[in-house]
Amino acid sequence: MSLKPSIANPQLHLGSPDISNSARGDKPPSLNPKDKKPSSVITVLIAIGANFLIAIAKSVAAFITGSASMVAEAAHSWADTGNGIFLLVAEKKSIKPADDTHPLGYGKESYVWSMIAAFGVFMAGSIVSIYTGITEWNAADTETNYTIAFIILAIAFVLEGFSLVQAYLQSKKQGEALNVSAVGYVINTSNPTLRGVFFEDLAAVIGLVIAAAAMGMHVYTGQAFWDALGSIIVGILLGIVAIFLISRNRDFLVGYKVSTTMHDYVLSELLSHADIDSVSYLHLEWVGPKKIFMVAAVDIAGNQKEESIAQKFEAIEGQFRANELFQEAILTLSAPNAKPLKLMKANKD
């Protein structure tokens, strides 16, 4: 048995259970040592730069026009800038090597900091936006010149759109190898940084359209409640995205199993080994972005001595640990007469 680097591209895998019967495809990877700087870090840096410039522009427009929708958009962009920093912290913290206090590594740090970032969106974006809309709901109807605001929204749309396209292209590239859509990949990937940037940028683009429409209706009708309504809708949108991101990070924090395809791949690799007759138990759990913890109970072929079995276990475990997708691999003997596992996908087909 061998886990060859040529089996698959290391970054093309999902960190989740099945998302459909036709898209179950975690590809078993072996990391390319030349790829030192994760593409998700580049995606976050682009998002931070775009959001910082946009936040300044929106704040100026909100001050000049007094628009509730622009106040909401400014709060959103400042929150996204701060959240981007949290996501960078998540990337840095999660790659720390395992030690005595954290034998499975620090991969779940990524989900902790990503959850903090998502909560930041909810607090700084959703609450501020909804509160601003409510307080401005009964504002006096006025004729307002929103020219500068519309210009800034247009520029922001281009910048946010560029950041979103960057995240989309990255997701599409990785999803295509799995026959999964870009959105499907982002939802199910074990990489919370990519998911956070993608959905924050998506919410930002939609929010810009909502804000522009709300201000446009204010200009057209002269009724200020349209502007306030836009702020409230943007706040609700941000709240939905934040709750979704918090939920996904929580899933991985409490223990999230791998997909059927990855499960079958590992089981097949174990069964292909000459010294293994069967596998009665296989636990595969994500313990960080692209990091799996494996525990397997196997039946060794023949009547081998304890010392020989221990050596064979160590060799097999070492083969899995050599693949950077696996944080840890542990083998133990199956209980007498334990029922052997079969490939999950074969059972469904």
User: DSSP character for 35?
Assistant: -
CB 334 within 8 A of CB 299: yes
Beta strand pairing call for 326-333 and 291-300: parallel
pLDDT at 124: 78
Buried b (16+ CB within 10 A) or exposed e, 4-29: ebeebbbbbbbbbebbeeebbbbbbb
pLDDT at 13: 41
pTM > 0.85: yes or no: no
pLDDT < 50 regions, the chain: 1-36, 346, 348-349
How is residue 115 written in tokens? 């959850």
User: DSSP character for 23?
Assistant: B
Q: Output the CA–CA distances (angstroms, integers) from residue 263 to 254, 284, 285, 349, in the order listed.
A: 19, 7, 10, 15
Nearest-angstrom CA–CA distance, 79 and 210: 18
CB 137 within 8 A of CB 231: no
CA-based nearest residue to 285, from 330, 332, 224:
330
For residue 201, the one-letter residue type is: D
CB 204 within 8 A of CB 160: yes
| 3-state SS class at 49 | helix
How is residue 244 written in tokens? 């979704």
CA-based nearest residue to 233, from 218, 215, 214:
214
Residue 173: in which H helix or E strand, if any? helix 147-176
pLDDT at 78: 87
Length of the chain: 349
Q: Dihedral of CA 47/163/246/35: which sign?
A: negative
CA dihedral 246, 202, 13, 41 (to 10 degrees): -90
| 3-state SS class at 287 | strand
pLDDT at 43: 65
Strands (E), 219-310: 256-257, 276-288, 291-300
Strands (E), 111-200: none
